Amino acid sequence: SEMAAVLAIFDVMKDLGKKVPVILLNARLVQDTTAVAGVMLRNFRAFEGTLLPVFHLEQFDPEDDKDPLPLNSAVIVRVWPRPYSVWEDNPEDPEAIDGYFLLDVNEQQPQDFQDCLTFLKGSRELTKRMRLKERQEREKGGKLL
C-alpha cells in the first residue's frame, strides 16, 4: 500500500540520520482505519504528526440527489499559511468571487466529504429561499433589493 511505502521511506531517512523534504500530493494514506491496525497505524499516526500540509487542492462533486435544484460542486483548498477552505462553484451567486463562494474555513485539516455535503445542502436551501422570496416580490409587484 502507499502508506507502507511512505513509512518505509521515512524509516530509511531515520536510519541514515538524514532529513529530506518529501512532497505528497493530496495524500490520503489512510482512507479506512479498520483496514489498517496495530503497529502500522501507530507508526502512521506518529508520521502524520510531523507533516506540514502546505498545498491542498481537491474537487468535490456530490452525487445527484434528485432534487430539482442540483447541488453545486465545491473545491477544498489550502495554500499555506492560509487555512483550509471550501469554495462552492456558484457563478450565479452575486457574492461569489470569480464564480466561487466561500462556505467554510478550517485551520487544522481539510473538510471531509460529509461536511462539504452539509455545506452545499445548506447553500442550496438558502438559494431556494432567496428565489422564492424574489418570486413572491415580483408577483406582488414589489421592488427587489
Task: Determine the distance from the C-alpha atom of residue 118 to the mean position of all C-alpha atoms in its chain, rounded to a whole number.
Answer: 12
Whole-angstrom distance, CA of residue 89 vs CA of residue 76: 11
- Show the low-confidence residues of the chain (pLDDT under 50): none
pLDDT of residue 19: 79
The residue to which cell 442550496 is assigned: 124
Question: Strands (DSSP E) along the chain, which ranges?
Answer: 55-60, 74-79, 84-89, 100-106
The residue to which cell 457574492 is assigned: 95
Whole-angstrom distance, CA of residue 118 vs CA of residue 62: 11
pLDDT of residue 62: 92
Whole-angstrom distance, CA of residue 112 vs CA of residue 114: 6
CA distances from 33 to 20, 51, 70 (A): 27, 19, 32
pLDDT of residue 48: 75
